[in-house]
Amino acid sequence: MLSLTLSSCNFESNRSHDSSIELIGAHTISLTELPSAVSIGFNGDKKQKEEFEKLMNSTEMTAFSPQKANENYYREGMYDQPSSPKAFTYSITYNLSISDPKDKDRIADVLAESDIPASINSNGYYISSEKNNEIQAKAFQMALVQAEGRIKAYADSLNLISEVIEVEEIDDYQLFPQNGLFYGTELIKKVRVKALLY
């Protein structure tokens, strides 16, 4: 779906100067066709950590393209408590992409059989950097074309010529999904276009 909003339209009364117009073009892309993402969280001792890492590299799990999102080590208790455990507890999170909702049950079954302490959470949609670049480029062009088209139509209605002098991408925080994950169902690309009218 394409939408275009007229943000401002300022004309100077002195015709010795060119008038200008600014529009914001926005193109919306649905992400529901991308692979869904789930995360697996693990907390355990060193031996369990080794078993967990081995499991994530197994044939059953590599089918879901697991990617390690983070890993932390910590010791419980305080430094001044002699009774505190000496060993570290390991906390690891992996992101996986699934194409079928039933895959989540398959992942749960594999974890249950391994008897490894872990949790599974739904986590939005997974997108590779290559696919992200492709979507971003397409959305940018679509938003730009629509903005330029509306500017030209407005100029034509006044028997004027339009000349684009500035293009700015806005809301670019969506360019960089964290760990390849989008948490919404759609991506909105916006561009601000400024043109002279003469």
The confidence score (pLDDT) of residue 198 equals 94
Whether the predicted model's global pTM rises above the 0.75 cut? no
The CA–CA distances, whole Å, from 105 to 100, 112, 184 equal: 10, 10, 23
Among 1-5, 53-57, 95-99, the range scoring the smallest mean pLDDT is 1-5
The percent of residues above 90 in pLDDT, for the chain, comes to 49
Residue 80: which pLDDT band, with cuts at 50, 70 and 90? low
User: Is residue 40 domain-shared with residue 106, that is, in the same domain?
Assistant: yes
CA–CA dist 113, 111 (Å, integer):
5
User: Is residue 112 domain-shared with residue 135, that is, in the same domain?
Assistant: no
User: Is residue 51 domain-shared with residue 88, that is, in the same domain?
Assistant: yes
Residue 116: pLDDT over 70: yes
Average pLDDT over residues 147-155: 95
End residue of a domain, out of 126, 144, 173: 126
Give me the number of domains the chain comprises. Answer: 2
Full residue range of the structural domain in which residue 89 is found: 36-126
End residue of a domain, out of 108, 126, 144: 126
Q: Residue 22 maps to which CATH number?
A: 3.30.110
